[in-house]
Every structure is written in C-alpha cells, then in structure tokens.
Amino acid sequence: MHAQAAPVNSASQSHTSLAALGRQLRIDSIRCTTAAGSGHPTSSMSAADLMAVLMVEHLRFDWSAPHHPNNDRLIFSKGHACPLLYSMYKAAGIITDGELLRLRKIDSPLQGHPNPHVLKWVDVATGSLGQGLPIGVGMALNGKNVDHLPYRVWVLLGDSEMAEGSVWEAFDKASHYKLNNLTAIIDMNRLGQRGETDIGWHGEIYAARARAFGWHAVEINGHDIAQIQSAYQEALAQTDRPTVIIAKTEKGSGVSFLANKDGWHGKALSADEEKKAIAELGELTGMVFPTQKPQNLQPSGWDPAGTLTLPSYAIGGKEAARKAYGDAIAAMGKADPTIVALDAEVSNSTHADEFKKAHPKRFFEMFIAEQQLVSAAVGFGVLGKKAFASTFAAFFSRAYDQIRMSAISNATIRLAGSHPGVSIGQDGPSQMALEDIAMMRSVYESTVLYPSDANQTVKLVAQMAEVKGISYIRTTREKLPVIYGPEEQFKIGGCKVLRQSAQDRLTIVAAGITLHESIKAAEALAKEGISVRVIDLYSVKPLDSRTLAQAAAETGNKFIVVEDHWEEGGLGDAVLDAFARSANRPTVVKLAVRKMPGSGSPAELLAAAGIDAAHIVAEAKKLV
C-alpha cells in the first residue's frame, strides 16, 4: 500500500492542490482498473477535475453516517466511471489503497458498477444509462417539498446517455418543480463506446436544450479549476431552477496516448501502459481530503401523524379494486407522514387522486413519464419515504428497466397497475395489461399481488407499506362484488380457499375478475352434481404452495387456472412453478388470453378469450 500523506483540511483549496487531487484520481482510476484487468479508466479520467472540486469544496457528506438526512447526494449516473468514485473514497480516507486495488474481484464490494447492496455510500445502482438524473429528481423533490432540508443532489452524467429519453423526462420534471437543489454535471468527453457521440463537443446544443426545458445552463472547460469553481457557485446561487453544467472534457485526460483517443472505452491499461501513463501524470501522492460535514437539521413541515382507519366496504356491494387502492393510500397517508404518492397523469382512473385530495403536499404528478415515475419513487424511497407509484398496468412496461434496476438498487417502492386485462373493455389492446404479472414476477425478490375485491385490496395495500423490495398490486377496473368482510385478513404469501368439500373433483385457481367468474362456474357445476374447490390466489408471488399441494392431493391432482393475462408467465405458470420439484405433478389446464383482443364489452371480451364462467364450466366437465 502506498504511504498516505497528511490530510488536506482547508475547505477552500488552491488551484494547485485541487489539480493535484484530479491527477491523483486519474492515477488511481488507472491503477485499480489495471489491477482488475478490466474497467473504464478513460471515462473516469475525463471527470476527475470536476469531482475533485466538488468533493473538496461543495460536497457535504458524513462518511460515517451515509444515511444522515442532511447529507448531499452524489449519483454517478455514468456508473461505468465508478473507478473515479472509488478513487474518491480513497481520497476521502474511507477505503485503503489495498481495497481500491481489489476492484471487480469476486469478494470485493467495489463492483464493476456501483451497487448499494454491497456499498453503504452508494444510494442507487447505476450502469443502465439514463437513470441517475431521474432518481435525483425524486431525491431533490424529497428535500425541497417533503423534508424541507437544504441538502443538494449532484448527478454526474456521461454525454452518451444524454440520448436517453429518460434524461429528458427528468429535465422536464425538475424544471416543473423548480428544483434549484439539483445540479446535473455533463462530462462531455465527446467519445462514446464506439466513437463520437451524436453531438460531440457541441455543448451549445445541450445548453440550448436545457434552457428550453427551463434549466440554468453553464458551459465550461471541465479541466479548468477556476471555471469549475465558478460553475458550482452559479448552481448554488439559483433560487428557482435546476442547473446543468456542460463540461467539455477529454476522455483519458492527462495522458498523451489516451487523451481524446478513440478505441479506449472500457479498456484497462496493461502494466507497461500503466507505468507510462503514471510517469506522465506524476508521482502518486496518496493525499487525503476530508469532505465537509452536513448541517444537523431535522426535517420540518411534515403533516402530523394521525390514527389509521382503513376504509371498508359492505359485503354484497360492488366496488373496484382501483378505487379501494386510492381510498387505502389516502387513509394510510393520514396516519403516516412518510407516505408519498406519485402518478402518471391518470390519477382520476387509478384513484391516486384520493391521496392528492387528502395530502396535496405529498402527491407528485409525473405526467405521462413512466420512467420518471418509477425513478422518482426510487429517489424518495432511498431517503426513507414510503413511495406508492401508480399508472395503467400496461404502461409500467415502458419503465421495466427502471423497475429491474430498482431491484439491483436494493430499493423499496410500491407500484399499482390499474386497468389490467381484456376486462377493461372497449379501449382495446393498447390499454390492456396482459404481460404485467409475468413482468413483475421476474423481478428479483418482488412481491406480486392481485386482489379480487375492495376489502382485500385495502388490506394488501396496507401491508405493502411495510414490504421491502419491489411490490406490485394489480387493480381491476371493473366494479366487482365485495365477497370478503372488512375483518378478513390476507397474509402476503397466502391465498383463500373460497369453496371446498370432501367431494371436490378438481381445483379452480383464479384472482381478480376471473375469481368471480370461477365462483359462478363453481355454482353452476354444483347444480350438475360436480363439486369443485375454488382458490383465490391473491398473492401471486410469494405463492402459498402448501395450500396448492393440499388441494392437489384432495381434488384428484387436477387444476384449472383462469387468468385475464397472456398464457405465458402469469397465474398458470406460477402454479406450475409451485409443483416444479414435485414427484407427483398435477394436471394444470390454463385458461388464459391467447388471441389478440379487440374492443367490446368486458363480458364479451372475457367470453371471447375463453375465461368466463361458461368456458370454465365446459373445461371442468372435460377434466372430470
């Protein structure tokens, strides 16, 4: 390990010491990637001066308390430049040189892209480009609109990721909410993975676009310490708009055979090249630069916590699960001031508007920007808020990468998708979520819920507030009969057996609207002397495999699974998965949507898809 020099303690450093830190960050970015034999040294080197000034002069962060509510937040949206981030950790004195040189090793927390699963100083996983700034919007909204704390959010972006639409969704919403506590730093080094970016070094184009979105834009030389200092001061001075710093840099800056040279993206230097590069940059000093501590303020302006009184609905009446969702989060928001709700301009359909009416300061409209919707929820969640985000279930598919990355980020968010399946009726297939269960089941350690009546919906939504990870609830559009009393409990990971007897000859498994069709079918079959068991599989993941196994043993090892979803990846596959390792696998008949639906009434479309009561009866007769 290299010897450590004495710490540099002054909050305002000379240009010489800041430039020296920039060189040190470049050298360490080279050294750790060469030791790893892979990584992105040149992408790290271009932003070294930008981060040197930020780290020493403006970043307020208590490394011993990374979740301190007053800490500034730093997001490396260009996550492949994490050798620079890890070199900053060494410069701050929180990791050793030996730890830095373990980059990308199987037992090292310094992974190829930042990951909060293993690094406590990282808020969110990055590496799938275009997501850091949208998450930063959520963090900035939390600071300005909920906690009323003066922390700042700094996001380092690569110029290649400026082609991502999610970035411009973030630009739009940050301006709409006047997030002057948010600063985006574009490392405009001109070179992407395979050559020049679409804009190259034309920073005036980025500036014009940003200004059109209502941002304060500053164009600088990203290797000029004085210009960097001035740009940060401009950002801090803004009172009603976010700032973007467009920094013209050189990829591989500081080393003649790397600087502005194509072909070096994601390529580590050899040992000989490392020696040559460090000889140009100068001797490694190992300086330590402690960062400034944040203020010690408490969040202010929170709504007072009240008593939780969940809504309830009378058995025999009718209500839509989507309405029960809105009623539930509105009631929960009264009891818990850490709950926030977000929607994508359909809150009068998802019924998130019930929360908006009750708690307008904690409701955030993301308009029709589903990627920003999910990312903002992640930003809130990282900072301790219980975020519920809703839109039509079909449109979450636009944000699937954000959902996938949320799981990698170890984030906790709650998603509500309304209007699933053919049962939405006349709007047609563009609005019908027929893939969402499959999509959400495949997310790492996700929870997938599909309630069948209003009281069940309320109880499941209340539990979602305490569930870790990514949870998803599928809320039906149609008003459905209330079949459970408000006192009924619904454990996540459980199911409900609605009909059973010793004479049951098969089991029907369903959820949501098809559960009600299954109940009708069971009643019709009973009149013909055929007794069947009916299971409400409201918890799709985790699944109650024990109850399913018991049903198989008691009902002839025969199942009919009925779902308003494509055949692939939905309830039927979830049931089959429960028996994947069973030596006595049951017969499972899947009734699901198999043909592209069109417009029509809900009843017509359920019948056309073969998932209504009549088709269930016909299939049951064949099976028994």
d(CA 91, CA 84): 10
Strand runs labelled E in 436-523:
447-449, 470-475, 479-481, 496-499, 507-510
* Residues whose CB falls within 8 Å of the CB of residue 495, separated by 6 or more in sequence, listed in order: 535, 536, 537, 538, 539, 543, 544, 547, 548
Amino acid at 495: C
Q: For residue 90, what is the DSSP state? A: H
d(CA 366, CA 345): 7
Amino acid at 574: A
* Catalytic site residue from 219, 370, 435, 563: 370
Q: For residue 150, what is the DSSP state? A: -
3-state DSSP call for residue 354?
helix
d(CA 280, CA 273): 11
3-state DSSP call for residue 403?
helix
Chain-centroid distance, C-alpha 275: 41
d(CA 32, CA 23): 14
In degrees to the nearest 10, what's the CA dihedral of 202, 204, 206, 207? 160
Amino acid at 174: A
Of the candidates 37, 88, 100, the one whose C-alpha atom is nearest the C-alpha of residue 61 is 88
Q: What DSSP element (H or E) covers 563?
A: strand 558-566
Of the candidates 244, 248, 246, 245, the one whose C-alpha atom is nearest the C-alpha of residue 221 is 248
Structure tokens at 166: 């999610």
DSSP 511-562: -THHHHHHHHHHHHHHHTT---EEEE--EEES--HHHHHHHHHHTTTEEEEE
Active-site residue, 319 included: no
* The residue to which tokens 């750790």 are assigned: 32
Residues identified as active-site: 370
